[in-house]
Amino acid sequence: MSGISRRRALKTLGAAAAAGGVLRGGDTPSAAAAQAGTDTITPAALLPIAEVVLPGELGESGRREAVSAFVRWIRNYKEGADTDHGYGNTRIRQTGPSPARSYPQHMAALDEAARGRGAASFAAASPDVRRALVAAALVSAKIERLPSRPNGAHVASDLMGHYFNSPAAEDLCYRAAIGRDSCRGLPGSEARPAPLKT
């Protein structure tokens, strides 16, 4: 009677699990490239963009919070992860390449454009110059609408899309503590949301 021994079966399963871990981990070229992209995307690097594309009402602390949330989203993004299927659709899709892969070249292009305007870097340029450079970059990238989630078309539009689709942006828009996506329960749900604290 032919068959496979228990020991051999366990060794085969162990090898397969190890191989799977390598393929899903950070050692593959694609994962390494994505990680290299996210390493350069820091709150400090994004703040000069945020200062000219996010609402001034946020203030410095609000901008830092918005940028930190964006960076967390990017760093937590997993390539090839299974996503939930939509209603009435049984097909499970996988996430694509990290949007952050293209960010280093976007930021390098902004630096180069700023040097062309006489500044040492994009961050060193005046707000008016930075605003104009970002606007020109978005036109060049053919950005016509903000994405509902970062898609890699341009780091500035992804940052804006991430913020303007957030509960915090909705609260600011209506000047009320709506708290979209938060679980508040039924008690008090008939009351209007409280005004935002100023």
pLDDT band, very low/low/confident/very high, at 29 (cuts 50, 70, 90): low
- Lowest mean pLDDT: which of 18-22, 68-72, 83-87, 134-138? 18-22
> CA 156, 38, 24, 27 torsion: positive or negative?
positive
Residues 181, 164 contacting (CB under 8 angstroms) = no
pLDDT in tens, 57-101: 999 999 999 999 999 999 999 988 887 776 777 778 888 899 999
C-alpha triplet 106, 125, 66: angle, nearest 5°: 60
Residues 136, 113 contacting (CB under 8 angstroms) = yes
Report the distance separating Cα 132 and Cα 49, nearest Å.
Answer: 11
What percent of the chain stands above pLDDT 70?
Answer: 79
Residues 81, 94 contacting (CB under 8 angstroms) = yes
User: What average pLDDT does this structure show over 139-157?
Assistant: 96
User: What average pLDDT does this structure show over 138-166?
Assistant: 96
Report the distance separating Cα 52 and Cα 172, nearest Å.
Answer: 17
pLDDT band, very low/low/confident/very high, at 17 (cuts 50, 70, 90): very low
Pick 93 or 23 by higher pLDDT: 93
pLDDT band, very low/low/confident/very high, at 110 (cuts 50, 70, 90): very high
Residues 162, 45 contacting (CB under 8 angstroms) = no
User: What average pLDDT does this structure show over 127-143?
Assistant: 97
Nearest Cα to 172, choosing from 161, 181, 182, 163? 163
pLDDT recorded at residue 19? 44
3-state secondary structure the chain: CCCCCHHHHHHHHHHHHHHHHHHHCCCCHHHHHHHHHHHCCCHHHHHHHHHHHCCHHHHHHHHHHHHHHHHHHHHHCCCCCECCCCCCCCCCCECCCCHHHHHHHHHHHHHHHHHHCCCCCCCCCCHHHHHHHHHHHHHHCCCCCCCCCCCCCCHHHHHHHHHHCCHHHHHHHHCECCCCCCCCCCCCCCCCCCECCC
Say if residue 10's pLDDT is above 90.
no
pTM: 0.76
pLDDT recorded at residue 95? 82
User: What average pLDDT does this structure show over 142-165?
Assistant: 96
Position 140: which residue type?
S
pLDDT recorded at residue 18? 44
